[in-house]
Amino acid sequence: MILMSTDQPVVPTKAERRLCESLHLRDEESEALLRAMHLGKAARQAVVFSPRAPQAYEPPFACAESSRFPWLPARVRIPVEGEKPTRYADYTLGLYYVLDLSSCWEGAALSALSGAPLRSLDMCAAPGGKSMLLAAHVQLLDHTANEVHAARRGILRQNVELCGLPNTRVTGWRPEQWSRSGELFDLIMVDAPCSGQSLLCKGMKNPGCLGKNVVQGNAKRQRGILSAAACCLAPGGYLLYTTCTYAPEENERSVAYLLRRTSEISACDVPALAAFRSTLSEFPSYRLLPHHGAGAGGFCCLLQREK
């Protein structure tokens, strides 16, 4: 039994207990994760300056000290608690984009790239957060923001235009179309559709997200997307895999599936995220949990095809 801050006892469900066991968490970590899932208050916002914002830009609202988050790129800030960055004209003008701090943590793996990729593809791009983060890490030289769902693609296109992402085209190809396309990229980001278990820690409803069938179904889809992405990876190219869920089947095991099938791809160390190294894989992969204090959590793994 876990005591909430309100002293309300919480009895974990069978599915919650199964998740904690699969993550091999220490007792206090399991307790912290379950408490976060029940409280639903772990959301933390961040803003990423867009290419439209001048080099020395500072936002019109108070920001928290970012030194606690050394993995944040220079063009990301954390609004102080209670601040609403969407209510300022600079937001409407596209000078910054608002997203989860956990997304910024996932994107921090981009700090390990050896330079700006000549061609980049954001394969699951809507509404555009990871493409914005890429633009905060490196210069976009020839970028494709791809989204399969038409309505979401419309929002993606608006965000790309509003925030002035340079040298960017928006496409709507399915993974199997990419694998047949013959196109090659030096960086592919797969921010995969997933069971979204971290949404519970943000107080959002996500019924069934801990269920075995939902997790297995997502894992199957992720493996298909990763295999398609691998077909489009240029020699020496990077593949960044990220999710906002906790289940190992959708994270370490989806990456392990790709590594088993593609011997010329391997996982890279991300020195900026060393403190978050997952203990569930022998290869370098990284996990963020709500008690780390950077939002609801996520997973990332940076892969590279041999040259």
Ligand X SMILES: C[S@@+](CC[C@H](N)C(=O)[O-])C[C@H]1O[C@@H](n2cnc3c(N)ncnc32)[C@H](O)[C@@H]1O
Interface positions with ligand X (CB under 6 A): 103, 124-130, 147-149, 152, 175, 191, 193, 221, 225
Residue number with CB closer to ligand X (79 or 128): 128
Residue number with CB closer to ligand X (30 or 195): 195
Residue number with CB closer to ligand X (40 or 193): 193
Contact partners, residue 23, CB within 8 Å, separation at least 6: 30, 33, 246, 248, 280
Residue number with CB closer to ligand X (276 or 299): 299
CB of 62 to ligand X, least distance (A): 25
Type of residue at 34: L
CB of 39 to ligand X, least distance (A): 23
Tally helices (H) and strands (E) across the chain. 9, 13
Active-site option among 124, 194, 244, 268? 244
Contact partners, residue 86, CB within 8 Å, separation at least 6: 98
CB of 30 to ligand X, least distance (A): 25
Residue number with CB closer to ligand X (12 or 129): 129
Q: Is 193 exposed, middle or buried (0-12, 13-18, 19+ CB in 10 A)?
A: middle
Q: Does the CA dihedral 223-132-204-69 come out positive or negative?
A: positive
Q: Is 9 exposed, middle or buried (0-12, 13-18, 19+ CB in 10 A)?
A: exposed
Query: Nearest-CA neighbor of 119 among 58, 184, 172?
Result: 184
CB-based contacts of 7-12 (< 8 A; 24+ apart in sequence): 10/34, 10/35, 10/38
Q: Which residue's CB atom is positioned nearest to ligand X?
A: 129
CB of 130 to ligand X, least distance (A): 4
- 244 included as an active-site residue: yes
CB of 217 to ligand X, least distance (A): 11
| Helix axis angle, 27-39 to 14-22, nearest 10° | 130
Residues recognised as catalytic: 244
